[in-house]
């Protein structure tokens, strides 16, 4: 493969992604409850092309639920999600499949198949969604592995590589079909700070070099400040904050402040409930009663 090809293909892709009109993702009135638990409460927002969006919020606030609705892995109670102008929840099967080809997903576990090599894992979505000849698929796979710095590991099996390499392989697979949008659910979970930096740089580079729109769920504060063009904070079923990382730093919102400072006390009450529980247990033990 010539070096020019490596450079020109992404550039062409970048132009294609950025030339399209309208927001990459448009959410209107999105609601979802599980029983009495209203996890997504009438959410509406647009995400523009070619930017990195971080979705953050306390554990259990609904980040993964939101992600599942954005990728049409789950049906909402109400509202719509448009990907590139197509409402993926009301679209017919064909339109939905077409829309799904526009995005890639890096799941938390990277979710590689252990019986296949890294290269075969990356080839899988291309084989599934296209009828391209194997030689073209091989070229695409090689390109994607080079992009994430995994060219050398193409023929290794997932159990032979480290957690960080698995994430990079998962990322190569997520971008196998040249998606316009990539969703990441906690891409840094379980990685050391240097590897988190490597993944962050990849997300940033892919976004700028390929014109991809990146939606990243993460708790990692250093990552948020490194990669985000905009941050959305989800809490109580609502987007309670949206702004740049520097807006985040100076926000007066008590929810944002508590989250950034890691305060156990504040409007995010799960830790408070825990504190109350431990207080009660200690109190009970102190009074000579077993809890």
Ligand X SMILES: Nc1ncnc2c1ncn2[C@@H]1O[C@H](COP(=O)(O)OP(=O)(O)OP(=O)(O)O)[C@@H](O)[C@H]1O
Q: Which residues bind ligand X (CB under 6 A)?
A: 34, 37, 39, 57, 59-65
Least gap, CB of 39 to ligand X (angstroms): 4
User: From the list ligand X, Mg ion, none, which binds 62 (C-beta under 5 to 8 Å, kind-based)?
Assistant: ligand X
Residues at the contact surface with Mg ion, assessed by CB under 5 A: 64
Question: With CB cut-offs between 5 and 8 Å by kind, which of Mg ion, ligand X, none does residue 34 bind?
Answer: ligand X
**Residue 78 binds which entry of Mg ion, ligand X, none, with Cβ cut-offs from 5 to 8 Å by kind?**
none
* CA atoms of 154 and 165, how far apart (whole Å): 11
Q: Would you list the DSSP string of 23-71?
A: -SEEEEEEEEEETTEEEEEEEEEEE-TT-EEEEE-STTSSHHHHHHHHT
Cβ 73 to ligand X, closest distance in Å? 11
Given Mg ion, ligand X, none, residue 44, with its beta carbon under 5 to 8 Å by kind, binds none
Q: Give the position of tokens 């926000």.
A: 251
User: In this complex, which beta carbon is closest to ligand X, that of residue 4 or of residue 75?
Assistant: 75
Pick one of Mg ion, ligand X, none as the site partner of residue 164 (Cβ within 5 to 8 A by kind).
Answer: none
Closest CB to ligand X among 17 and 32? 32
| Residue with Cβ nearer ligand X (55 or 140) | 55
List the structure tokens of 62: 């609904």
Q: How far is the CB of 81 from ligand X (least distance, A)?
A: 15
Shortest distance in whole angstroms from residue 108 CB to Mg ion: 7
- What is residue 259's three-state secondary structure? helix
Tell me whether residue 2 or residue 59 sits nearer to ligand X (CB atom): 59
User: Which residue lies nearer to Mg ion by CB, 103 or 183?
Assistant: 183
CB of 219 to ligand X, least distance (A): 7
Sign of CA dihedral 124, 203, 14, 53: positive
Complex with ligand X: residue 65 or 214, whichever CB lies closer: 65
Q: How far is the CB of 62 from ligand X (least distance, A)?
A: 4
Distance of CA 71 to the CA centre of its chain: 10
Sheet containing 238-243: give its strands across: 103-106, 181-185, 213-217, 52-56, 230-235, 238-243
Tell me how far, at minimum, the Cβ of 209 lies from ligand X, in Å.
Answer: 29
Which DSSP string do the residues of 95-158 spell out, in sequence order? HHHHHHTTEEEE-TT----TTS-HHHHHHHHHHHH----HHHHHHHHHHHHHHTT-GGGTT--G
Nearest position to Mg ion, beta carbon? 64
The full 3-state SS of 188-246, as one line of letters, equals CCCCCHHHHHHHHHHHHHHHHHHCCEEEEECCCHHHHHHHCCEEEEEECCEEEEEECHH
For the chain, the first-to-last Cα distance in angstroms comes to 68
95 binds, among ligand X, Mg ion, none (CB under 5 to 8 A by kind): none
Q: Which 8-state DSSP code applies to residue 160?
A: G
60 binds, among ligand X, Mg ion, none (CB under 5 to 8 A by kind): ligand X
| Of 107 and 157, CB closest to ligand X | 107
């Amino acid at each position: 493969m010539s070096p020019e090809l490596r450079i020109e293909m992404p550039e062409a892709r970048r132009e294609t992604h950025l030339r399209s009109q309208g927001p990459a993702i448009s959410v209107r009135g999105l609601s979802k409850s599980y029983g009495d638990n209203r996890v997504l409460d009438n959410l509406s927002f647009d995400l523009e092309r070619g930017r990195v969006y971080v979705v953050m919020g306390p554990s259990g606030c609904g980040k993964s639920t939101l992600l599942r609705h954005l990728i049409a892995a789950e049906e909402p109670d109400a509202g719509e999600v448009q990907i590139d102008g197509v409402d993926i929840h009301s679209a017919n099967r064909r339109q939905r499949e077409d829309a799904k080809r526009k995005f890639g997903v890096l799941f938390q576990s990277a979710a590689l198949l252990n019986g296949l090599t890294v290269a075969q894992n990356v080839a899988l979505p291309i084989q599934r969604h296209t009828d391209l000849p194997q030689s073209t698929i091989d070229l695409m796979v090689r390109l994607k592995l080079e992009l994430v710095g995994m060219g050398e590991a193409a023929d290794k099996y997932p159990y032979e590589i480290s957690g960080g390499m698995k994430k990079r392989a998962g990322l190569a697979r997520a971008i196998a079909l040249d998606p316009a949008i990539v969703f990441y659910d906690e891409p840094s979970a379980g990685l050391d700070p240097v590897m988190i930096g490597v993944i962050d740089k990849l997300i940033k580079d892919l976004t700028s070099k390929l014109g991809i729109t990146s939606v990243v769920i993460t708790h990692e504060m250093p990552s948020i400040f490194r990669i985000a063009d905009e941050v959305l904070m989800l809490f109580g079923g609502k987007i309670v904050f949206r702004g740049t990382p520097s807006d985040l730093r100076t926000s007066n919102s008590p929810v944002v402040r508590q989250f950034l400072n890691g305060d156990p006390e504040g409007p995010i009450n799960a830790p408070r409930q825990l504190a109350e529980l431990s207080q009660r247990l200690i109190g009970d033990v102190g009074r000579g009663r077993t809890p």
